Amino acid sequence: MRRLFHDFFSHRTLFYGLFNQAGKNIVEMAELLTAVVDTGSADEREPLYRQINTLEETGDDITHKIYLGLDKVFFTPINRKDIHILASAIDDVADNIHEAAGRMHLYNIEEFFPSIREIADYIQLSCNELYKLISELNKVKDTQTMIASCRLIKDYEHKTDHIYYHALANLFANEKDAITLIKHRDILFSLEAAVNKCKNATDAIEIIIVNSI
């Protein structure tokens, strides 16, 4: 019996620890992304792109460890399906931030539209709020505050959708160069997708919160 209790609490540390690492990782990626769009120098952006690449690989490693934990651990601190969904959603956030940065780099964008900066800011806000939620999963106490954070992330997603569709409309109405249009459309798509993935992670956390009550 003592061994069972020991295993249960060590597994709590394992999963919550990995989730915290994953949450911190996407916050750092989001910060680097906003630094990229706020930087006017291509030379200064180069190391930022490299750091984003490194953190995306770190995120993949964390997600892999969570999946390995699910394969090995019998008693999990959260429903197994919810762990998998949340880990996948956080990984999707990292992937889309990485994809957006990769397209900025590949397309050699020199100047970013204001809408790109705005969405990058919402990605950072969403990741910061998501990390707060993740760090509180270990001991769900103030459920109302956590639900409010979930609603805030969903509000960020709603505002991002408005910016995204408005930016696309302006792009197709005013941009005469087809290559430039495609480049910025692709970047906007990846950025908007990153905020959507934050919302998906929030949905998974809401289920965990409800099940804890």
Q: What is the pLDDT of residue 7?
A: 45
DSSP symbol at 137: G
DSSP-based three-state secondary structure for 202? helix
d(CA 87, CA 89): 6
**Mean pLDDT in each 10-residue stretch from start to end of the chain (213 residues)?**
42 82 98 94 91 97 92 79 93 97 93 94 97 86 86 97 96 92 95 96 91 69
Contact between 171 and 185 (Cβ < 8 Å): yes
pLDDT mean across residues, the chain = 90
Q: Which two three-digit tokens encode residue 159? A: 């505002």
Q: What top-level class would CATH report for the domain 2-212?
A: mainly alpha
Q: Is the pTM here over 0.75, yes or no? A: yes
* Contacts (Cβ under 8 Å, ≥6 apart) of 144: none
Answer whether 122's CB lies under 8 Å from 159's CB: yes
Give pLDDT, residue 6: 40
Q: According to the model, what pLDDT value does residue 11 have?
A: 56
Indicate the domain borders of the chain: 2-212
Residue 10 is predicted with a pLDDT of 46
